[in-house]
A and B are shown apart, each in its own frame.
Chain A
């Protein structure tokens, strides 16, 4: 059992990863919160408070470690292009974003915490020759964030926290480019990274009674400025016009405000509910600038809108050692269907989760959970994404990528805790 988990964590460490939630935010930072549907802001009681709500650190004694990973297997299909209903399936990939958090109570008043996790990421891969290859073949974004938080217990039942985070990210975009009227496709590969981006966070937690807790947290936008290179393969005769060289791109990941409430209705059962607001309007355009003015810069409107998720969780304490977790959430898609691209398919999502949280010994705990995400079927009828070669200015009569998306994902998460 321990060995099994160890192997999984090891793999997790080797492939710091990726995936999808609304947009490309990842909310999987701990097996226990995942099992509770992410309704954790008010009731956070382990070191993952560093991510969920720093103010929760004030209620932890001693030193707390939490190490784990999620294993994510998304699957997406596209049927189209309308009126055709031919089905294309995204290539199967597994993502393993790890998480690590540590906290320490310095004094009665102050606690500190730090960690590492993957707040944003995505990875989509379609076959090289698929019909949407001029829109997306491979798209990958990885971010890793290292938050540092300090929490102050103002009173026994009220605490606040502030913190900062250091993040780095890298991004890969690969897609085919038509060589029409010449035969064949060119293949463009963009790669870039940002080694230092900064954000900040704050939290508050109040426990008015022993059964009731209320919490809220804030995580800021993070501005990434990617620097990288473009490479292209294609016909030798077209080498002069294929975009290559240094590129730069900007991406702002959204602000998050999450508020929740937890209530222990009976001795064995605690219910929690969260509302999460995500400032996705920060993502308005996917733009890549080529340093060489000979090449046209890429600029694709995305026009994401601010969105939200509603989360509910239940924790049933069988005894002092074992608790069962259950959760459900609704995650509203941030992108308008007309801007939906196969590089990042999206839809309103429902998540169902369950899991266990177990105390193996006085110091050592383990939790495991499973989350199934079902995206509602989304049929795009007014797409602005053009999937065949066209001339600038002829967008109206060009061929739009209309069709039907279906997606689901299976997520497993495991965390180990050690307190001393």
Chain B
């Protein structure tokens, strides 16, 4: 018995000795090759696309996947952001039901979670920023949209009274800057059905020159984002075809009768125009589209606006000149042409200035055209497209990317950096980024596959 105990003790001691050794080989991740790129201090200037907005809100679980933060992670540099706890800055769209598809506006609001960060944020993207704001805005009341009665509190949250986006960039003595601004200077015109004045190209040229000249003086490397064609996003392409099909089923209806800005006051989009996307109805107009053919003024009462003079709500809504579809929800061929011409003009200004300073500009046409093509874009085993919800590139507001969409955008930046600075920064594996369309439990019905977006949810949509 004694021997047994001695043997067992001996056995246990030897056992412990063996358990103690972990003979893992050291593994090392491949060395990062930044080429001549210098990410010591990395700053991003921009609007909601830089800030990481999704589904009409800026919230932390999405901001983690802002393209700047994704780039910073790939190159291993610090990147502070003005984060907001979920559901974010307010008005977040969530999915109430999938079949039929309907959304819900989360009435909640998060709080800033990085307010005490002791230095200016690396991410100086501000939702709703215009080019003007980079140079001039210091607060909610001095931003561009304040001139139109919409002071934007996010300028307070991001700038914290320390200066303009430009000043805070220069103060950080950046070594690398991404600049992606100007989208809103033309987007607001399109999302409001041609009713918001675009920035004058001459003013755009002056302001962009000022921004680039000031940034050039920092000596930082600068990568510029061009302006994508926002008309390829689901914000513009989702509702129209459904309305076209609906009208085809209404006896006697010739098309969508909508208000126009100038004479003759109303115009008609045939079902074919709508299905072929020659005329857009914005995603903001999806609820109004549900009223089509009703003798109703519900659109005006729901939105608390007076019935415009000359409109007779006893006529079928959207099908008659007496009760036409509202102007601000429709982008007609004239307005589409105006948008495209302005966008191309801005892009030429940006490219011309960038070339003068020797900076690269990312042209989004390839990416956006591929997303809009029937095959979509395949990345890491998944197909992404410009289709609403199922395309998985654009979030529920139809215009801001999903987390994975931002991953694809980050990769466009990384490819441009690798190209310009002979670097080989690894691309983000987009499939490892989690899905980001948020669910909520409230159900309502959508006709003809037209998503049911609550009134007002998207009225102020901007990049």
Give me the interface of A with B, judged by CB distance under 8 Å: 1, 77, 79, 83-85, 131, 178-185, 235-238, 240, 318, 321-322, 324, 352, 354-356, 358, 360, 366, 368, 370, 372, 374, 377, 386, 388-391, 394-395, 397-399, 404, 406, 408, 410, 412
* B378 contacts A by Cβ under 8 Å: yes
* B162 contacts A by Cβ under 8 Å: no
Complex: how many Å from CA A324 to CA B404? 61
B residues within 8 A CB of A318?
3
- Contacts known (A356-B7, A358-B4, A399-B429); A184 close to B435, Cβ less than 8 A: yes
Closest to A410 in B: B19
A residues within 8 A CB of B28?
85
B residues within 8 A CB of A390?
380-382, 431
Complex: how many Å from CA A372 to CA B61? 44
- Whether the Cβ atoms of A372 and B15 lie closer than 8 Å is yes
- Whether the Cβ atoms of A85 and B27 lie closer than 8 Å is yes
B residues within 8 A CB of A237?
95-98, 439, 441
Closest to A377 in B: B25
13 A–B pairs (Cβ distance < 8 Å), ordered by A? A181-B392, A181-B435, A183-B436, A184-B435, A235-B439, A237-B96, A352-B18, A360-B1, A370-B12, A370-B15, A374-B23, A388-B381, A391-B383
A190, chain B: closest CB distance, angstroms: 23
- Whether the Cβ atoms of B24 and A406 lie closer than 8 Å is yes
Closest to A356 in B: B7
Give me the interface of B with A, judged by CB distance under 8 Å: 1, 3-5, 7-8, 11-12, 14-15, 18-19, 22-25, 27-30, 61, 95-99, 378-383, 389-390, 392, 402, 404, 426, 429, 431-432, 434-439, 441
- Whether the Cβ atoms of B431 and A388 lie closer than 8 Å is yes
B residues within 8 A CB of A404?
25, 27
A346, chain B: closest CB distance, angstroms: 17
Complex: how many Å from CA A178 to CA B25? 33
B431, chain A: closest CB distance, angstroms: 4
Interface centre among B24, B28, B97, B434 (most CB of A within 10 A): B434
A181, chain B: closest CB distance, angstroms: 4
- Select which of B15, B22, B25, B432 is within 8 A of A388 by beta carbon: B432
Complex: how many Å from CA A377 to CA B27? 11
- Whether the Cβ atoms of A410 and B404 lie closer than 8 Å is no
- Whether the Cβ atoms of A1 and B429 lie closer than 8 Å is no
**Which 5 pairs, one residue from A and one from B, show the smallest C-beta to C-beta distance?**
A398-B381, A390-B381, A180-B435, A388-B431, A181-B392
A residues within 8 A CB of B61?
183
Complex: how many Å from CA A372 to CA B18? 8
A residues within 8 A CB of B1?
1, 360
- Whether the Cβ atoms of B435 and A399 lie closer than 8 Å is no
Closest to A179 in B: B435
- Contacts known (A237-B98, A410-B19); A181 close to B390, Cβ less than 8 A: yes
